[in-house]
């Protein structure tokens, strides 16, 4: 488990942040942030004052990365790029999260390294991480200012032959009583636009491989835009399937076979394929994964349960 709690003995009265700096080789800012989050405990209770004097027995909760062997596909002095597998979180949801890409990022580049953007757990593909705090600020700012361009590949239901775009505002839902969609198309939402280009059609599976270019960065944008035009992504357990299936998926009650038949694939068939961004030079990075080969994860047409 990446977050661990360990006991320490402080020999003489010491300011809490100075002890953390020395013990973990942290900067002053890192030590103070850890304390401010309540990660230093005395008699089982968190302290939050970074200048507090500590002595004797204490406990510290901190992130200790555990690698599973995923190596970056591109390394620069400022950033790393990984090909994230489907099913892996980019960042721990809670302190009990057993594994995420942050384990690999910090195993490779240390405590100051961090992820710079989100990818849905079930989406595979390129994940950009910073190697130090200055790079983190720059890259996160670049995402916010739309200087970083992303392209995705998706296997979708049905046949598409011509390029098209979807320009439909998106808002976050707060009522899951009728469906489990996180977002929906609504006039009052935030502007969103995605461009789509069909690349190939598989008649036997009745699926089209589509290149997706999100021009904005809304939550679940590609997924909800494709659902909106009635070509949902195969394997999507939230958009394009029944309420019951979504509910059972979220409750982790859906078997692998049920998932395959009721959503059309073993996983969400969405892949982050390219990144284009400036960092001194202009970088254009392409995933090393051949996403076409993942057609084997798609359920045969005659076995799929279509939800309308």
Residues serving a catalytic function are 120
Alpha helices (H) in the chain, listed in sequence order: 16-24, 28-36, 101-109, 133-144, 221-228, 243-250, 256-263
Closest CA to 228 of 262, 194, 273, 188: 194
Closest CA to 199 of 295, 134, 275: 295
Cα–Cα distance measured from residue 63 to residue 301, given in angstroms and rounded to the nearest whole number = 45
* CA dihedral over 150, 94, 79, 136, signed as positive or negative: positive
Closest CA to 156 of 264, 256, 29, 242: 264
* Bridge partner list, 281: 279
* 3-class secondary structure, 53: strand
């Amino acid at each position: 488990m990446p977050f661990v709690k360990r006991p320490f003995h402080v020999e003489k009265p010491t300011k809490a942040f100075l002890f953390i700096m020395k013990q973990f080789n942290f900067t002053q800012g890192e030590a103070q942030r850890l304390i401010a989050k309540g990660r230093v405990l005395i008699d089982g209770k968190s302290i939050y004052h970074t200048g507090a004097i500590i002595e004797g027995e204490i406990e510290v909760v901190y992130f200790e990365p555990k690698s599973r062997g995923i190596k970056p596909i591109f390394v620069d002095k400022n950033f790393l790029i990984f090909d994230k597998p489907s099913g892996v979180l980019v960042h721990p949801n809670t302190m009990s999260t057993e594994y995420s890409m942050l384990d690999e990022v910090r195993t490779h580049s240390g405590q100051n390294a961090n992820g710079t953007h989100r990818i849905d757990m079930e989406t595979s593909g390129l994940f950009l991480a910073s190697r130090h705090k200055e790079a983190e600020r720059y890259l996160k700012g670049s995402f916010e200012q739309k200087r970083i361009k992303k392209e995705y590949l998706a296997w979708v239901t049905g046949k598409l032959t011509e390029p098209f775009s979807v320009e439909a505002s998106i808002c976050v839902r707060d009522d899951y009583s009728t469906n489990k969609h996180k977002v929906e198309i609504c006039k009052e939402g935030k502007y969103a636009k995605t461009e789509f280009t069909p690349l190939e059609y598989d008649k036997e599976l009745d699926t089209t491989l589509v290149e997706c270019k999100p021009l904005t960065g809304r939550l679940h944008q590609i997924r909800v835009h494709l659902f909106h035009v009635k070509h949902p992504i195969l394997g999507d357990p939230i958009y394009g399937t029944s309420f019951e299936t979504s509910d059972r998926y979220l409750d982790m009650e859906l078997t692998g076979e049920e998932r395959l038949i009721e959503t059309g694939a073993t996983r969400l068939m969405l892949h982050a394929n390219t990144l284009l961004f400036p960092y001194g030079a202009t970088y254009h990075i392409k995933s090393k994964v051949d996403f076409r080969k993942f057609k084997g994860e798609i359920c045969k047409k005659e076995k799929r349960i279509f939800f309308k």
